[in-house]
Structure 1
């Protein structure tokens, strides 16, 4: 059971999430709270298949080998705008910075430029968990020249497989670029030219089954825009969770779930107005355990696949991402102030 403890007195305990359990005398006792483990603005959290955790943002790039309890800073190229890990190798990362996409194979000690940006902004980089040699990079410049490049040799050489695509008066973005966890041929994405124009129908989650050469519609949650996707592995590989948000006031968001690998979807968390979903995390081997971070500083948890939800806390503020450590040991929350952690 989770609850927020407060005594209402000046300087007293307020706004802190605690996990509670029954004590032998039938009362309640505090067993865990959210704790900050890393300071500074953090945008994204990610981890390898063996459990090494990475956090990156304006504060820098950091690595943890103890499920987010402690962090080691890593070197990066100057002012990286995108960082992607190799899920199967904690020593290998890619970073977009300056005029190139760079690669390190020694955890940031050295970086090698592997793909010129050609004056375009890199929007997303993704490494296939199923085949680490397969790497994707999407780039654009405002409303012009959206392109996708693919490498089949770990970034040594690249081929442009899409574009350039021209947009209207708008700005391209790629909120989702997710290689399938076990099938190296499959890739899921949401990409479009949104900012600067009205997109009344939202956008879709699309799928490629030929490593990005062709695309087909997988799910269109009109009028919402897909923003986060997790799933496709563990005890139920057909289970996915997709977060989507509205593009205009009064806002709102939904978390969708599929149990048949995307053939059908149902909404399991609905916010009709207001907060957007900033992060989604789940435990692949107990896939009914799922967590959602909202832009109103609330983290929600469910242990029945989204049939019911509990507000874990409004403790960490300015949430940007969530990550569940291996085995559901702990939940990490990235925020504009740092990383917070709670034992589960």
Structure 2
């Protein structure tokens, strides 16, 4: 049976699903789904084919949508997505991750929830917000959001999360207790003698290298980093990049040394592609060397950005790479970034891009 690759797209006005055969030369696009709610993240469970979409805002409230028929019909639930009475209400769900049928959701204000029934009901993983550093957590430019959830592929007790602007936290025991993992990452916006705090870094994205759970890559507000000890320590790998600032990172599906980035020109200089020339930067050496991949991307007037969850790879050979812009263009490469083509134009602001490969 021929596989189909699906690109799952979250936007400010609903979710979209693009589909193609493994050649990835022709694509179909369906949507918008989820009644054009603001959707921050869309993923799929490869085991069941269920598509989940996270979203909401202060007007709609938080919810996770689910489709068991590849977008034809959807349901949504917010049952249990709430803090205790008297706490600041949850505005939206920002991120999703799934492992062995357990679905996790990161929310704003920052916290983590878990569902064991496909998103119909949720329970609060309270240990994270019980961490003694919580009074120090401050919102980043997008709010105080938990936007990265990294699950250990073999140990269900281990989870890493990224919070802007609190940093990276890790648990060994399924969320009962947590520890900061920010050693070596800068906070340039702090006074000079406080630029390496235990918490308070503005992490933008965390991804895990394939086949090596100890290797993590992090795009930060203040640099690009790699850890080879599960985030206990981080080292800078930004040398050779055009900027220390960007949002997304995407790992190769098989090669732990290969990573894709979309650097922007800086946090106060417009947050668009450096020199207004489109490029995705690739390393095949774990961040010790970088190359700009530009073929097929606009080389003038590229005044767009790429948000923190809006880049992904697929598991095909060669790997596909995808990213969406805040001006509504979805780009794809079927040759590991060597060349690019636009899959769609004029979508709403693209907030997330993920992939799944499943039988047709």
Q: Aligned with 2:313: secondary structure?
A: strand
Question: Is the 8 Å Cα contact of residues 297 and 319 (structure 1) preserved in structure 2?
Answer: yes
Please say if 1:309 is aligned against 2:340: yes
Q: Which residue of 2 aligns with 1:293?
A: 324
Q: Which of the numbers 95, 99, 114 marks the counterpart of 1:88? A: 99
Partner of 1:37: 33
Structure 2 residue 142 is the aligned partner of structure 1 residue 111: no
CA drift of 1:204 comes to 2.6
Q: CA 1:104 to 1:303, structure 2 compared with 1: closer, same or farther past 3 Å?
A: closer
1:262 is displaced (CA, Å) by 3.4
Q: Does 1:61 align with 2:64?
A: yes
SS at match of 2:174: coil
* 5+ long unaligned stretches in structure 2: 1-17, 21-25, 83-88, 138-143
**Matched residue SS, 1:326:** strand
Which stretch shifts more, 203-212 or 305-314?
Answer: 305-314
Partner Cα separation in structure 1 for residue 252 and residue 339 of structure 2: 22
Contact in 2 for aligned 1:230/1:280 (Cα 8 Å): yes
- 8 Å contact 2:208–2:251 — kept in the other structure? no
Q: Mark the runs of 5 or more structure 1 residues left unpaired by the alignment.
A: 1-17, 21-29, 193-202, 330-344
1:255 corresponding residue in structure 2: 280
Determine whether 1:158 maps to 2:178.
yes
Distance 1:182 1:82, change over 3 A: farther
Is residue 240 of structure 2 the alignment partner of residue 240 of structure 1? no
Matched pairs, number: 288
Q: Distance in 2 between matches of 1:185 and 1:45?
A: 26
Equivalent-residue separation in structure 2 for 1:241 and 1:303 (angstroms): 14
Change (3 A) 1:73 1:256: same
Does residue 126 (structure 1) correspond to residue 145 (structure 2)? The answer is: no
Shift in alpha-carbon separation, 1:137–1:158, aligned structure 2, 3 A: same
Distance 1:64 1:257, change over 3 A: farther
* CA RMSD, Structure 1 to Structure 2 (Å): 3.6
1:215 aligns with 2:246: no
Which structure shows the bigger proportion of residues in strand conformation? 1
Alpha-carbon distance between aligned partners in 2 of 1:140 and 1:219, rounded to the nearest angstrom: 20
User: 1:198-213 counterparts in 2 under 5 A?
Assistant: 203-213=222-232
Deviation at 1:277, TM superposition (A): 2.5
**Deviation readout 1:258-287 (Å, 9 max, x if unpaired):** 334434321113656411124223222234
- TM-score of the two chains, using structure 2 as the length reference: 0.66
Contact 1:232 1:261 survives alignment (8 Å)? no
Q: Distance in 2 between matches of 1:43 and 1:309?
A: 24
